[in-house]
Amino acid sequence: MVMRNRLALTVFLLVNSVALTAAARAHLVTFGPWLKVHLFVGPDADRVQDMKIRSLNLDGRSREFTIGEPHDITDKVFVVRRVYRINDALATQPEWKWQRDSWLLVDRSTGRVSKLNLPDFDPFYSVVSWFRDYAAYCGVTEGQKLYAVVAQLGQRKPVLRSYISPAKSGEEPDSECAAPIWQKEPVRVTFTPAGGQKLSFTIHGRSGEPESSDEQTESKPDKQ
């Protein structure tokens, strides 16, 4: 009888320990209300554009500030773009200005927030379009060259990196390319550089290949 009681007590403590551990690992990830701030653009950062941001909150505390809508990768993991403030003052009195950054990977189950390293991503010019765990965008290198890029989460090398042209380096944000457009069956993505022709690529798992002109013509919707 004593042994049974001890066994029952051991099982009870074990079950409660597992339950408490699971409860301790559960995290609440939410977003705060939208706030309107200023994005400074131009060579001298003397022109202002309105930008809406909101906080990314973990367990009721602000962790980061973000812009735009999140994209769900799975039911537990999503990505969202980060913004931050930088001190632009020469004097001791700080002068804070908002800047756009790369993307964040957020795990709802663990509460982990990590910054994504997207190859050739330019915070000023690159516009990302997501499909599943693929990120498509026009990347700008240090040599001011423009590339069509498709990166996959968890992979160090991009699925696609194809040279487009010299970068225009304009004064407006998001001015190198329009947001890429994804299609399914087969999976393809189309890039439209500013002042250039559309470029389409078919994505095969961890690789991508350009479509021929005939294939691109066939993929265009019929005009009504």
Please indicate, yes or no, whether residues 69 and 140 belong to a single structural domain of this protein.
no
Provide the token pair at 159: 């699925």
| Shared domain check, 214 and 180 | yes
The 10 Å Cβ neighbour count of residue 152 is: 17
The DSSP H or E segment spanning 54 is strand 47-58
What are the residues facing 120 on neighbouring strands? none
b (16+ CB within 10 A) / e for 40-59:
ebeeeeeeeeebebbbbebe
CA–CA distances in Å: residue 204 to residues 19, 120, 131, 159: 42, 21, 13, 9
Q: 144 — phi, psi (to 5°)?
A: 60, 45
199-212: pLDDT as tens digits: 999 998 777 778 76
Which of 96, 116, 136 finishes a domain? 116
C-alpha–C-alpha distance, residues 40 and 61, integer Å: 28
Q: Which range among 30-44, 87-101, 202-216 shows the weakest confidence by mean pLDDT?
A: 202-216
Do 84 and 163 lie in one domain? The reply is no
- Name the band, by pLDDT with cuts 50, 70 and 90, for residue 92: confident
The model's pTM is 0.81
Domain span at 215? 118-224
- pLDDT mean over 7-20: 46
Confidence of residue 121 (pLDDT cuts 50, 70, 90): very high
Give me the number of domains the chain comprises.
2
